[in-house]
Structure 1
Amino acid sequence: MNDMAEQRYLKLTVAYDGTAYHGFQRQANAITVQQVLEERLATIFGHPLKVTGAARTDAGVHAYGQVVGFATSGTIPAANIVRAAKSVLPPDIVVVKAEEVSADFHARFSARSKIYLYRIYNAAVADPFRRNYAWHVTQPLDEAAMDTAVQTVVGTHDFSAFRAAGGPPVSPVRTIYEAGCTREGDMLEFRFWGNGFLYHMVRNLVGTLVDVGLGRLTRDGFTRILAGRDRTRAGITAPPQGLYLKEIFY
């Protein structure tokens, strides 16, 4: 970057199909969304880029509204970035919005809340066209029971029971503003809106809620798992392809 040029700070909203990528965050020996963004966008800004993402989505996870921020000395107007990015990015990564922000904006630390969706394809026979975009569960699921159980996570709780090992050393206390489960035909969708999420928290919640939907666990049993703060008592980690980062609020 030319230090003599005036720096600008940009915020991009990015959608991507995570199927082909080993998550968002750059890795040494695997292709990630961050790497592709940095390498391809550098060609339109005229210098190497280092972007910061709001969420470090895992391999196979998708996003409607990932947010990245970066400093640039490039002069391309924000209004032209969406069109220019389309010409250099692969079709499974799309910049959907670009705007200038102040120097104190941080994609991750400035975020106030996020919405995640999780989709389950609930049918006896697999659908090859949904295999990368939903968790296929063959046994019938009771969405009403799961919706009733998931309401118990609304509010401020210690989510240690749904926290995977390997995440950053942060407080397990999070506030969930809304949560629910709905069905449309064979597709089930969970929605979680909260001020923050622990490593694999949504996938671990869904894995446990599926036990409720299968009749293996009651609503009260789910509530006791939440209160118990013991990951070994909760269900499996739902697979990544059903998870979507929907929106981030600042």
Structure 2
Amino acid sequence: MTRLAIGVEYDGAAYSGWQRQHHADSVQGHLDKALGAIARHPIDTVAAGRTDAGVHACEQVVHFDTDANRPDRAWVKGVNTHLPDNIGVRWIAYPGDDFDARRSATSRVYRYLLIDSPERPVLLRDRVGWTFRALETVPMQQAAESLTGEHDFSSFRASACQAHHPIRRVDALTVMRYRGVIMVDIRANAFLHHMVRNIVGTLMAVGTGERPVEWVSDVLAARDRRRAGITAPAPGLYLVGVRYPLRFGLPGPPAGPVFAPAWGDG
């Protein structure tokens, strides 16, 4: 058996999430089937992160084992011919048998796209989060700074979270407005269930002026999900990249702005 790694992009709007489920359509279900068609044996993939229903990925990293000897073109273009248009393989790599897409990752990067407009977006309804209340990004960024570093993120953890502990390390958290869209970028060693969306929902309360900047640090210290803000809607969330040690030889996350939206007046 040889261990292969692939980079996968998908629009999660139509799916119940990454993980294969018997009762619903999933990204993993389609990918395993497409890879199996090329390998000519069943494939069971492992992903860097299990994205939720409606969440997208610019570069999900996946590994799988196979004894099939195929050219790189078959693992990319060939697999893509068996996938729906909203899922696609972007690259193939051979990281070695000790590579694990989930356990070998040193950090993940998520981006949340948010529109603050009196009227709900129509064409972008499956691509962004939305609030009708105007948001100020400067206080949101000030509040976000209290969340960087290693902390107990219980206040931002979904009740259904299955992680063994709530300690996570956030390396960077930035809030900015780009062409009419607010972008919240978060890089961490790992994430709890709904952690990004709960952080965004909490920062929104600061952006509207409903809560002061200092409130977010109080929420973090409380370790109580009931003290935090809403869970931001799934359509605005994107897994944009995963980082690994250089020895695995995988393509790194794209440099510079990732999935910077080209709409709006600025």
TM-score, length of structure 1 as denominator length: 0.95
Matches within 5 A, 1:87-106: 87-106=81-100
CA distance in 1, matches of 2:230, 2:115: 17
Among candidates 76, 83, 95, match of residue 77 of structure 2? 83
Matches within 5 A, 1:161-200: 161-200=155-194
Q: Which residue matches 1:205?
A: 199
Instruction: Tell me, yes or no, if the aligned pair for 1:181 and 1:190 is still in contact at 8 Å.
Output: yes
Q: Which residue matches 2:154?
A: 160
Matches within 5 A, 1:220-239: 220-239=214-233
* Root mean square deviation, CA, Å: 1.0
* Per-residue Cα deviation, 1:193-243 (whole angstroms, up to 9, x for no partner): 011111110010011100001111111111111111111100111111111
CA distance in 2, matches of 1:80, 1:42: 12
* Aligned partner of residue 115 in structure 1, secondary structure: strand
CA distance in 1, matches of 2:119, 2:229: 23
User: How far does residue 126 in structure 1 lie from its aligned partner after superposition?
Assistant: 2.1
CA distance in 2, matches of 1:228, 1:78: 50
Among candidates 95, 98, 104, match of residue 110 of structure 1? 104
The letter of the residue matching 1:166 is: A
Uncovered stretches (5+) of structure 1, i.e. residues with no partner: 1-6
Percent identity, please: 39
* Per-residue Cα deviation, 1:52-83 (whole angstroms, up to 9, x for no partner): 11111000000011111110011112354222
CA distance in 2, matches of 1:125, 1:201: 27
Q: Structure 1 residue 136 and structure 2 residue 94: aligned?
A: no
CA distance in 1, matches of 2:110, 2:102: 15
Instruction: Tell me, yes or no, if the aligned pair for 1:123 and 1:186 is still in contact at 8 Å.
Output: no
CA distance in 2, matches of 1:75, 1:49: 14
Instruction: Tell me, yes or no, if the aligned pair for 2:169 and 2:188 is still in contact at 8 Å.
Output: yes
* Aligned partner of residue 175 in structure 1, secondary structure: strand
User: How far does residue 161 in structure 1 lie from its aligned partner after superposition?
Assistant: 0.6
Aligned residue pair count: 244
User: How far does residue 28 in structure 1 lie from its aligned partner after superposition?
Assistant: 1.3
Q: Structure 1 residue 62 and structure 2 residue 53: aligned?
A: no
* Aligned partner of residue 206 in structure 1, secondary structure: helix
CA distance in 1, matches of 2:188, 2:212: 24
CA distance in 2, matches of 1:179, 1:79: 37
Q: Which residue matches 1:147?
A: 141
Uncovered stretches (5+) of structure 2, i.e. residues with no partner: 245-266
Given the superposition, is the C-alpha separation of residues 148 and 226 from structure 1 closer, same or farther in structure 2, using an over 3 Å criterion?
same
* Aligned partner of residue 38 in structure 1, secondary structure: helix
CA distance in 1, matches of 2:88, 2:79: 7
CA distance in 1, matches of 2:120, 2:192: 30
Q: Which residue matches 2:260?
A: none
Among candidates 18, 34, 50, match of residue 24 of structure 1? 18
* Per-residue Cα deviation, 1:119-148 (whole angstroms, up to 9, x for no partner): 101112222111001111111101111111
TM-score, length of structure 2 as denominator length: 0.89
* Aligned partner of residue 28 in structure 1, secondary structure: coil
Instruction: Tell me, yes or no, if the aligned pair for 1:208 and 1:234 is still in contact at 8 Å.
Output: yes
Q: Structure 1 residue 218 and structure 2 residue 212: aligned?
A: yes
User: How far does residue 87 in structure 1 lie from its aligned partner after superposition?
Assistant: 1.4
Q: Which residue matches 1:4?
A: none
Runs of 4+ in structure 1 off by over 6 angstroms are none
The letter of the residue matching 2:187 is: W
CA distance in 2, matches of 1:9, 1:85: 16
